[in-house]
């Protein structure tokens, strides 16, 4: 029992470790490696609770540790990525030295959401507001879309400081909005109990296969829309 109870917390710490590495790569403008380590961190975040329930070792410490790890991987990292993007699109002749720091609005919104999540008893089986990992994937996909996309319209939008600021502000809003969203965490091994998240994950894989990095924001948009449909028509 002594060793078993530490397994979920170790997985959570791996999430934090991946977030730290992602932050280093983001500081070097290596957004692809930052993306991979964020994705790996979210993978660990996805399964720490699952193993805690499977091993029957859930604890208040695990809940707090999970939020603290997420604060780095899904709070500091996306805020810093937006900071760098806002820096890169500054006009060298007339730079706005303060504006890039507004990218950390995402970090502030993530912090508020994570703290609120720990005390909100309504979010045991689903989410209210966009989860921080989903928001992080959206934000960190932007520089990759900017790098790999051939669409001039996308390139112009993602190089516009005011469009990026709009994304940052909306990001902080949607994290804390009173919008019920279904949970993507798989709580047991039965398909019937997890049909919606499993099917959505498979659908997400197809979007990534066809659209690559552009598929990530499409997945987030689909997640929100499907949640609305689920709330109105599918949920009993």
pLDDT values of the chain reduced to their tens digit, one per residue, 236 residues? 577 777 888 889 999 999 999 999 999 999 999 999 999 999 998 887 766 666 676 777 777 888 899 999 999 999 999 999 999 988 777 778 899 999 999 999 999 999 988 887 776 667 889 999 999 999 999 999 999 988 899 999 999 999 999 999 999 999 999 888 887 766 666 666 677 788 888 999 999 999 999 999 999 999 988 888 877 766 55
- Compute the distance between CA of residue 87 and CA of residue 80 in angstroms, rounded to an integer: 10
Q: How many CB atoms lie within 10 A of CB 204?
A: 18
pTM of the shown model: 0.87
> Is the Cβ–Cβ distance between 77 and 42 less than 8 Å?
no
Count of helix runs (H) and strand runs (E) in the chain: 10, 2
Contact (CB, 8 A) for 208 and 196:
no
Three-class DSSP category at 34: helix
CB 140 within 8 A of CB 31: yes
């Amino acid at each position: 029992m002594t060793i078993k109870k530490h397994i979920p917390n170790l997985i959570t710490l791996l999430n934090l470790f991946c977030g730290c590495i992602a932050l280093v790569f983001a500081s070097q403008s290596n957004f692809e490696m930052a993306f991979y380590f964020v994705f790996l961190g979210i993978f660990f975040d996805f399964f720490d609770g699952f193993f805690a329930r499977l091993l029957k070792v859930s604890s208040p410490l695990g809940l707090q540790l999970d939020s603290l790890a997420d604060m780095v991987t899904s709070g500091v990292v996306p805020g810093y990525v937006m900071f760098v993007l806002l820096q890169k699109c500054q006009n060298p002749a007339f730079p706005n030295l303060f504006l890039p720091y507004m990218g950390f609005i995402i970090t502030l919104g993530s912090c508020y959401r994570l703290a609120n999540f720990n005390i909100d008893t309504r979010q045991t089986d689903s989410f209210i507001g966009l989860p921080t990992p989903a928001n992080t994937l959206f934000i960190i996909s932007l520089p990759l879309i900017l790098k790999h996309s051939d669409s001039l319209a996308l390139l112009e939008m993602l190089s516009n400081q005011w469009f990026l600021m709009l994304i940052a502000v909306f990001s902080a809003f949607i994290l804390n909005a009173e919008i019920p969203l279904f949970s993507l965490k798989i709580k047991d091994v039965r398909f019937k109990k997890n049909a919606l998240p499993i099917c959505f994950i498979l659908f997400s894989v197809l979007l990534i296969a066809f659209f690559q990095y552009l598929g990530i924001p499409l997945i987030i948009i689909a997640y929100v829309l499907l949640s609305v449909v689920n709330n109105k028509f599918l949920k009993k």
